[in-house]
Amino acid sequence: MTDRYAVFGNPLSHTKSPFIHGAFARQFGDDLIYETIEAPVDGFAAAVRAFVDAGGKGFNVTVPFKVEAADLADEAHEAVVLCGASNCVKVEDGRLIAENFDGVGLVRDIVSNIGVEIKGRRVLFAGAGGATRGALVPFLEAGAGEIVIANRTVSKAEEICELLGPRGSIRACGYDAINGGFDIVFNSTSASLTGAGLPIPPVAFQGALLAYDLAYGKGKTPFLTLAEQSGAARLADGVGMLVEQAAEAFAWWRGRRPNTAPIIKAMTIPLK
């Protein structure tokens, strides 16, 4: 019997998840289908229940349903509890078990694919939304020396620091208080999705080993352009993170981790 998986979101016209999971399944010869379910904004829970009742075994979640997926779950793993959002759900005996693999996927892309170590590094995250929340625990566990969260509303970044402060060195600031000396600089805001710039001073990139935009498929965004002009040694977008978090989901569902390298290569848009 064909196993059924899906991604829930709205809109889903540009999702790459069916391509990625289809490629993973072909690596193992697995009999599965992976579909897109564009649920109504006010109908996510009903759409999930219909999927589960029809035999669905697991699903990914993207905007705007990640928070609702966490709330809907019968069981939530630590990453979901900490960031308040889920991007992956497993169905077991009709129960929904929620995970969030965004941070794990990001760390794996940086360390294993790009070849930049996180241990001891000074890291800047621009933005204090769900993407940053989801990434922080894996970064702290990977041994980041210091993490700075910059946000227009500093209190929002401070809330995250208060929550995660016992786990490592983490602090908040406004964009106007950013200084230099960062090894890795992330854009985890939605600015690149709209083509907007960010008020990050050029000094943030001077001497940086890596500037990483969590958005993908946008080419050289204003963030990456500024990073290149300001001295960052290497640029990356979020395609590797996308594929790696998908591989974590596939392994959680299926018990085998696929080879991500050919999929990342096929989806990568050159940045230089």
Report residue 170: phi and psi, to 5°.
-150, 135
To the query of whether residue 272 is one of the catalytic residues in this protein, the response is no
17-28 vs 239-254: helix axis angle to the nearest 10?
50
The residue from 66, 90, 156, 220 that is catalytic is: 66
User: Degrees (nearest 5) of the Cα angle 113, 28, 86?
Assistant: 60
Report residue 45: phi and psi, to 5°.
-60, -40
State the Cα–Cα distance between residues 196 and 198, nearest whole angstrom. 7
Per DSSP bridges, beta strands 88-92 and 95-99 are antiparallel
Q: What does the chain come to in residues?
A: 272
> Is the Cβ–Cβ distance between 142 and 119 less than 8 Å?
yes
State the Cα–Cα distance between residues 18 and 35, nearest whole angstrom. 6
CA 25 to chain centre: 22
Catalytic residue numbers, as ranges? 66
